[in-house]
Chains A and B, each alone.
Chain A
């Protein structure tokens, strides 16, 4: 198109904004507006929003179909990555991998979705539990994921969400690799940035290992999670540092807690039934 990009982008902005307003009641119409914005002004934000609208109104298959149609016509990294993320959600990893390849050939990606897609594909174990060497495969996968995380950590242009995910992967990787000082340092840094229950649990298990019960109790208290969720993380942390006995104890506690919760729920339901009969 011979018209410079900025007037076209300027003209496309009201369409995207209108699409956002219309999208609350008519996602299909919003998708069309976003589509026009993309065609008119190469407005990538509009294209991604269009796919989101189609996802909401017509489902994942239609959204992926629209994205593939568009990238055949005009390659675009964020559009391909958006479709890939939907494919990952649908557990269609082969399709997602194909879309990732197209995304990497689709020019610049300002949104950071291509990195997120790559991470989600690479970090997903996808190992059949029936495989004879499943545990070895899982260990090899964990190593690969850790290496990928290290590579991503060195980058300075990742989105905050992906950085958090990468740091969590490294945190657990360091704990499993018994690099405790590194894990402690990383957990403390994460806590400087945000309230992160997983970092608190890692610090809890390290404090327990050091025999510092007071500090361990503080970290456990700060891990703002539901009891069962918190205990599951504690199990993972104990297993990571090889404290299987404590992990088993915790699993037993979780069983007891869950059965007590189930009992309480069934009693409540019975009470409600009785009240209804009366």
Chain B
């Protein structure tokens, strides 16, 4: 158990919402189709407490993975028992797919996290939660379609495939679970994993992209592939024009390449965006030195000294100093 990692903390509310909507959808659809027994039991409700069950809740807390209390269905109340049972069984996974789609829409709205300005960190966290929300609901929908009792799939397939009966599937429940586990370890699990990976890639936020590109830029810089690092850092500042660390890093790259004019532009932008960082002034002083503008160089060195003098703590290795030495530090959670 990796409790209480950030992943688990993000997953729990997503799972709780997913399960609640899942069970609610079964109860509500049954009620629409003529069976009011679930409504009488108080299950046509979005109150999660009405849908919790002991083993399912323990599983949510320990795994994290779980299930809700099954919604009782009275087939005698349906107008067309087989068709309506199929529809009410499909309603749960359909609700999860719908939630996943709604989540996907919200993800699209939140993906440009840097547009949220000073709230970019919060936006990135919200986006990350929405990604968990989409994956969890997508997982609930897919998992529930497996033809294993007591999952919805066992009811759905028994309504669709002639000769399949839910009672027969129940008798073979353990056998089916073993088959599914075996397949899940092999092709089934791989395909599901690939689909989830594709979904995550599709939902990637600016923050995620910047993190990935910055990582590659760091590697390129460390390996001395300056052209590649410059191109990658160009992508980063295109996504996040307020990233002073990226301008600083690109300035360092230009310095390494001997292009002091470009370095001066990027370092000046970094100083402007950061509001005054002694490291940046020092680096710009070197760029001025490269351009033989000694007066400006002296001025920047004096500013750097003065900034360090005003903040003696700054002479200590500051948080992020290591990243700055190679140039890149990300904003966001």
Contact = CB atoms under 8 A, between A and B. Distances in A.
Interface of A: 6, 9-10, 13, 16-17, 20-21, 110-112, 156-160, 163-164, 167, 189, 192-195
B36 A156 contact: yes
Given A9-B49, A13-B52, A20-B54, 12 more contacts: A6-B47, A13-B49, A21-B54, A110-B41, A112-B37, A156-B34, A157-B77, A158-B77, A159-B72, A160-B37, A164-B76, A167-B76
B37 A193 contact: no
B137 to A, nearest CB: 24
Contacts of A112: 37, 40
Contacts of B54: 16-17, 20-21
A111 B77 contact: no
B77 to A, nearest CB: 5
Nearest to B165: A195
Which has the most chain A C-beta neighbours within 10 Å: B42, B57, B75?
A: B75
A159 B47 contact: no
A163 B47 contact: no
A6 B73 contact: no
B279 interface: no
Contacts of A156: 34-37, 77
A21 B55 CA distance: 11
Interface in B38-65: 39-42, 47, 49, 52, 54, 57
Contacts of A9: 49
B315 interface: no
Interface residues of B, number: 23
Which has the most chain B C-beta neighbours within 10 Å: A20, A21, A193?
A: A193
B293 interface: no
Given A10-B49, A189-B81, A157 B75 contact: no
A6 B42 CA distance: 14
A111 B38 CA distance: 10
Interface string B205-219: 000000000000000
Interface in B96-110: none
B52 A159 contact: no
Contacts of B325: none
Contacts of A158: 37, 74, 76-77
Nearest to A21: B54
A135 B196 CA distance: 70
Contact of A160 (B34, B42, B72): B72
A160 B40 contact: no
A163 B40 CA distance: 15
B37 A157 contact: yes
Contacts of A13: 49, 52
A163 B76 contact: yes
B81 A193 contact: yes
Contacts of A163: 74, 76-77
A112 B165 CA distance: 27
A157 B40 contact: yes
Contact of A159 (B34, B37, B49, B167): B37
Contacts of A189: 81
Interface in B156-204: 165, 167
Interface string B65-95: 0000000111111000110000000000000
Contacts of B77: 156-158, 163
Given A6-B49, A13-B52, A164-B76, A157 B81 contact: no
Contacts of A167: 76
B34 A192 contact: no
B75 A195 contact: no
Nearest to B52: A13
A159 B74 contact: yes
13 contacts: A6-B47, A9-B49, A10-B49, A110-B40, A111-B41, A156-B35, A157-B36, A157-B77, A158-B77, A160-B76, A167-B76, A189-B81, A193-B75
Given A6-B47, A112-B37, A192-B82, A160 B74 contact: yes
Which has the most chain B C-beta neighbours within 10 Å: A10, A157, A164, A167?
A: A157
B41 A160 contact: no
A164 B37 CA distance: 14
Nearest to B43: A110
3 A-B pairs with least C-beta separation = A163-B76, A157-B36, A17-B54
